[in-house]
Amino acid sequence: MGSKPSYLNFDKPAYAWKPDIDYKAHPESYRVGKGEQGELICEPYKSEIGQFWRFKTKAIAEDSSQKIYDLFLKYLDQNDFVGADMARKYLQMGFTRARRYANYKGGKKYDKDHDYQLLEKGTGQLEKAEAAAIFFTKWKDAESNPKYADLKKDWMEKFG
């Protein structure tokens, strides 16, 4: 039996990202955080990037990850670290969510009807593993981009 999902004890007031902030107008309010944190909250980036986020099939993942990566590059060209970091988060999330669907039938990891026990792994869809691999490559391309690394370093020094 695995641990329960973290969202069960979610502390909304303590969460660094807020849905009522325009992060393009107030980029100083943005926090990098761990992994994908904030990706489903930070507007207007959530709407700009999220509309392209799909991983149902390998072909859809190829198109989706390329569109998001293109946005990542556009944000870098504009020296918009927040936008670039959000695009990077969506690429990472494409990988992690597709992997979850590859590992678990229906993408469900926990059984909410049985005290959130971890469900059986290996019941998912092979095609989602292919989609995950596509997103993984784009995510790693984004993380290894030298301009992104420089902007992130500067951002962390300035805003933490």
> How confident is the model over 70-95, as pLDDT tens digits?
999 999 999 999 999 999 999 999 99
Separation of alpha carbons 103 and 35, rounded Å: 20
Question: Is pLDDT of 1 > 50?
Answer: no
pLDDT above 90 covers a percentage of the chain that reads 52
pTM over 0.85: no
Residues 105 and 123 sit within 8 Å (Cβ to Cβ) = yes
The SS3 of residue 123 is coil
135-145 per-position pLDDT tens digit? 999 999 999 99
Angle at 53 between CA 122 and CA 149, to 5 degrees: 95
Separation of alpha carbons 98 and 107, rounded Å: 8
Write the DSSP assignment of 54-93 as a string of letters: --SSHHHHHHHHHHHHHHHHHHHHTT-HHHHHHHHHHHHH
112-150 per-position pLDDT tens digit? 665 656 556 655 567 788 999 999 999 999 999 999 999
Separation of alpha carbons 83 and 49, rounded Å: 9
* Average confidence score pLDDT of the chain: 83
The count of residues in the chain is 160
- Between residues 158 and 108, the one the model is more confident about: 158
